Amino acid sequence: MLKLIKVIDMNKDKFVQELSKQMNMNASDCEKINEILESHFIIGRNNKYKILEEIKKRLHIDDELAEKIYDTAGNILEENIKNRLKHPFKRNKTSN
């Protein structure tokens, strides 16, 4: 399985903090989302639906909010990838 957050050199705490800030959610729920994303291969339509279903089930939320969370998490990861491509030799001092 692809651990995308680790591949792009973004540590868990930074991701959880950013998702919490952008979605105005508590850190505990964002940690659950991170666990879900880390347990699935994030690329692919079928996997997207599996991730959305698990988010809805674990957080007890509706389709619309689950989709918004998924999109926001994807945007955070995408932005981090873009940043890594622009600055390939810059390393996070706190990365795991």
Closest C-alpha among 19, 3, 25 to residue 96: 3
What is the Cα–Cα distance from 96 to 78, expressed in whole angstroms?
19
Residue 22 Cα distances to 30, 41, 60, 76, angstroms:
11, 23, 19, 9
Whether the pLDDT of residue 87 is over 90: the answer is no
Residue-level pLDDT at 95 = 45
Task: Return the higher-pLDDT residue of 46 and 76.
Answer: 76
Helix, coil or strand: residue 93: coil
Residue-level pLDDT at 96 = 44
For 17-73, how does the pLDDT look when each residue is reduced to its tens digit (9 = 90+)? 999 999 999 999 999 999 999 888 767 677 899 999 999 999 999 999 999 999 999
